[in-house]
Every structure is written in C-alpha cells, then in structure tokens.
Chain A
Amino acid sequence: MLHLDFSFYKWDVISNFILKGIGFSITLTFVSTVGGVIFGTLLALMRLSGNKLLIAPATFYVNGMRSVPLVMVILWFFLLVPFLIGRPIGAEVSAYVTFIAFEAAYFSEIMRAGIQSISRGQVNAGMAVGMTYGQNMRLVVLPQAFRNMLPVLLTQTIVLFQDTSLVYAIGAYDMLKGFETAGKNYGRPIEAYLLAAVVYFVICFALAYSVKRLHKKIAIIR
C-alpha cells in the first residue's frame, strides 16, 4: 500500500516553490478579470450599437473566441505576440495578453445580457433629461447592468481562476506548476497533485460560497 507523506511541505518549500505560483495565478486572475470586463463591455456596446460596421467584427470576435479551446488560444498568442511585436516575451506576459483577450469574449456576453436587462424606461429617462448616448451609458445603464451582473461576473472569475492552470501549456509558473515543481524536487509528485487539488478546491469553494451570499444580499436590496 502506498504511503502518503506530506512532511516535506515545510515552510521553505512552500515559500520557495508554491507562493510564487499562487501569486502569479491570483495576479493573472485579477488582471484578466479587470481587463476582460473593460474590453468585454466595449465589445458588448459594439454589439448593441445598431451599427453593422461595429456589430459584425465584435460578433465575429466573440463567437470565434468561444468556439476555440482556451489551450489553443494560449498557444496562438504565445506564438503570435512575439512575432507581431518583433521580440520575444515571456510565458507570463503572454498569459496576461491571452487571458484578457479570451475572457473579454466571455465577459462581453455577460455584460450584453446585463445591459439588455435594463428597462427601456431608464434609457428614455436619461434621454429626457438631455443626456448624450455616452452619458446615458456611463451614468445610467452600465452601473446598473454591472451591478445586476455582479454575481455572474464573479462566478465567471472563479472559472477564470481555474482556467489559469492551463498556462501549463506554455510553461508559465503558476500555482499548479509550483506544486508540481515542489513534488518533482522532493520525489513526491502524488502528494503534490493531491495538495494542489485541495488548495484549488478550498479557494474555489470559498469564493463560490461568498458569491452565493452576495447574490442573496443583492437580491434582497433590489
């Protein structure tokens, strides 16, 4: 029978191998959520603009991104970004660019649903007080859409956090890689994968639970 031995997980192993990876996973999640929401909102506005020249490219982009596996997108960007800017970039930078671009497509669908859930009367009221289209969007529609969609946006962020493990494909040093490296160095890969699973589970479960709470809270206020 197999003996599991977690005793090699001393503080210096954790700080040398794992914390660096966790830091990257969390930063990547945060940066690509913020970037994805910004670009996603722009894409959603393009798709709702009524202007064919804006709708067509935005729709193409969103549907294109959504029909290709994330791993392929990661590989594409890792290959193309250095090619286009003419100098090599690291796997980490490439991961940031990829995740912002990829998540923008997913966040744009969420924001589009959010904008469409705002009643026409709100838009008309804005127009009645003399707001321009930009003011109406910025001051009336988007804040409400964003707030209504907050639980869905956060749920997508949890999925995004799990998906950051896929930077494995280009060898970036994320949380999974941190566990894997520690496991390899100490000849304990099985314990490393188990512990990685537990840590991912604890983080995602806690986040999902908080989102559920938040959802209830928002639902009462409205």
Chain B
Amino acid sequence: MKLLRVSSELGDNYVMTYDQQNNKDVINFEDNKFEIEYIGPGWREGELLFKINGEVHRVYVDNGFIIIDDETIFKVDKITETPIEQGKSIEDLIRGKEGEILSPMQGRIVQIRVKEGDAVNKGQPLLSIEAMKSETIISAPVGGVVQKIMVKPGQGVKKGDLLLIIK
C-alpha cells in the first residue's frame, strides 16, 4: 500500500491510499473508496475503458487533461508518492496536519479578527478574504492558540497560501 497525493491545476489536493488487489486498483479517501479496473482501449481513438466501482467509464487523456465520459475534466498538476510512516494510522496520514490554516481561495485579506497568542475555539472566525465581490469569513478548523499570523490586512493571497498557524 502507498500513500498518494494528487494535486490538480486548480490547487486542490487529494490524499489517498493506493493498493493493487487482483488486478484492481483500490483507492481509499477519507469518505470514499474506489475499485478501479482497466478494461482496455475503447471504441474510439485514444479512449480507455475503466470499470469504477462496477460501472464502466470512458476516459481520454489529452495534454494532461483527463476527460471522463465526455463530461467532466480534470487536470493533474502533480502526483507525489510518499512512504507510509511507521506508527501512524492511515486516517491520520490522509487527514494531514491540523493547525496550519491555508487560504481556500485567491483574494485580498480584509480583516484579521485574532491576535497572536489568542486562544480560539473550533469554528471561531479568524479572518476574512474578499474576492469576486463577496467576503468570505475563514474560521478555525481546530481549537488552540494562534501561534503565528502570516498575513496583513490589504494583502493579496493565492489559494494554498499559509494564513496562520494554530497550535
């Protein structure tokens, strides 16, 4: 079994365990499990057929874009293979590190509602980001103490930028 990390061109990150069992790829996320079986080339040029959880899907790979059933597209930015650390449960590895708050979007920091050293509860508003004419409040995914604030009001941030650290 391996731990795989797939990041998409949109900046989304997926952590999963990957295993091969009887010619099937078995992939586990926190909330979903997929059994994927390669059937072979499809009827059309460049098409591959896969059985995913018992259902047949048609897949094209075009310049890094994966087009599934002619409907949805996905572009991989990077795939990383990581050895599974001893003594850690799979759930912990998939869940990742808690406490480092990353920006879920591109935008501009409007207001920071906490100071370094403040104790915060899970769900407490930390700061707000403005983009595309709406303001989004970012709340603490975990409780703890604000150790470091990495951004200032007015600053532009990209998706995935580190905003603050809660310990």
To the question of whether A and B form a pair in one complex, the answer is no
